């Protein structure tokens, strides 16, 4: 497999196949990646054999994904209020966990910590219900429209207070990073469920109030495609019009409402071309692919992206 340069690859692809960290990273090295993003399922047991690889320079770490390393606590998993908890003790605990993720990132020489900052709480997974109606009846159906209005009204009503708490948490982590003299970005990620935060406009609200801080947008391309299709925001318009400092990108493509596929290869279209400029500009570029993506498909997808970037840059 060709050397992938400064492109990184998330361990979400193969972590369920490996209980031992070295074997997991060796499989990624075989794909030609010299950098990895250590995702939130990486355990301390994995790190026992990963850390010697980092220390010896066998592999580099581009980013870690909060909460890192893995903790067995549903209150602080990736689909939780996290930095926006109304419960002040839980919010403080979330900030302390983020400090831990930052410490690991700095120890490993990573450029960024990827964070799912929060959500508007619902009594059930209304996003799953909406996606099922989307698939069976379509976005233009009355059933979808009615449930979407219900979701959006509650989201818009509760979002401001949640954003305020997320902002306070991000201020605290920014002050911690400045006090420690660390050089690491906090990337707030575009999310995969319609009640989760931030949208791109919410991300601008947060980052505009944190100018000069390490906080920037972590643009997850596949998630943004999905939210656009569901109707939460106009992805390309907002990306173009808003002033969003970019911390990094997750590279994957969404087919319908199914994400983490190889760009171009699985869709069979050039729709992904509109994201090439963002990939080009991103300080950290990470493939975040599902386990169903085969090595030869990953190679073909990366080759197409590289060739298209070269054409865009006038080098081919």
Q: Over pLDDT 70: what percentage of the chain?
A: 100
Q: In CATH, what class is 8-312?
A: alpha beta
pTM beyond 0.85: the answer is yes
Cβ–Cβ under 8 Å, residues 139 and 92: no
CA separation for the pair 272, 261 (Å, rounded): 12
Q: In b/e form, how buried is each residue of 144-183, taking b as 16+ CB within 10 angstroms?
A: beebbeebeebbeebbeebbebbbebbbbbbebbeeeeee
Average pLDDT over residues 238-257: 96
Is residue 261 scored above 70 in pLDDT?
yes
Arithmetic mean of pLDDT over the chain? 96
Residue 174 in 3-state DSSP? Answer: helix
Q: Where are the domains of the chain?
A: 8-312
Kindly indicate the confidence band of residue 277, based on its pLDDT and cuts at 50, 70 and 90. very high
CA dihedral (58, 62, 66, 68) in degrees, to 10, reads 20
């Amino acid at each position: 497999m060709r050397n992938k340069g400064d492109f990184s690859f998330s361990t979400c692809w193969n972590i369920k196949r490996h209980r031992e960290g070295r074997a997991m990273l060796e499989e990624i090295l075989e794909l030609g990646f010299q950098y990895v993003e250590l995702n939130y399922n990486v355990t301390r047991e994995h790190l026992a054999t990963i850390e010697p690889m980092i220390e010896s320079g066998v592999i580099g770490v581009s980013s870690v994904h909060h909460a890192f390393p893995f903790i067995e606590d549903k209150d602080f998993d990736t689909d939780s209020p996290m930095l926006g908890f109304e419960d002040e003790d839980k919010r403080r605990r979330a900030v302390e966990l983020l400090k831990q993720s930052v410490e690991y990132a700095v120890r490993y020489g990573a450029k960024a910590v990827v964070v799912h900052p929060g959500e508007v709480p619902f009594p059930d997974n209304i996003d799953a219900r909406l996606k099922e109606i989307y698939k069976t009846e379509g976005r233009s159906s009355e059933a979808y429209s009615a449930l979407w209005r219900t979701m959006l009204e509650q989201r818009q009503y509760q979002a401001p207070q949640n954003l305020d708490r997320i902002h306070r948490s991000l201020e605290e982590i920014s002050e911690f990073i400045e006090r420690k003299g660390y050089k690491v970005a906090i990337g707030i990620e575009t999310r995969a469920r319609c009640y989760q935060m931030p949208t791109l406009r919410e991300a601008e609200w947060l980052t505009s109030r944190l100018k000069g801080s390490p906080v920037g947008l972590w643009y997850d391309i596949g998630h943004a495609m999905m939210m656009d299709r569901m109707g939460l925001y106009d992805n390309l318009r907002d990306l173009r019009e808003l002033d969003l400092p970019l911390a990094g990108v997750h590279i994957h493509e969404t087919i319908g409402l199914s994400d983490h596929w190889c760009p171009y290869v699985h869709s069979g279209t050039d729709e992904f071309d509109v994201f090439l400029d963002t990939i080009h500009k991103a300080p950290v570029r990470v493939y975040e692919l599902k386990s169903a993506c085969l090595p030869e498909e990953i190679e073909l997808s990366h080759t197409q992206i590289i060739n298209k970037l070269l054409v865009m840059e006038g080098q081919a």
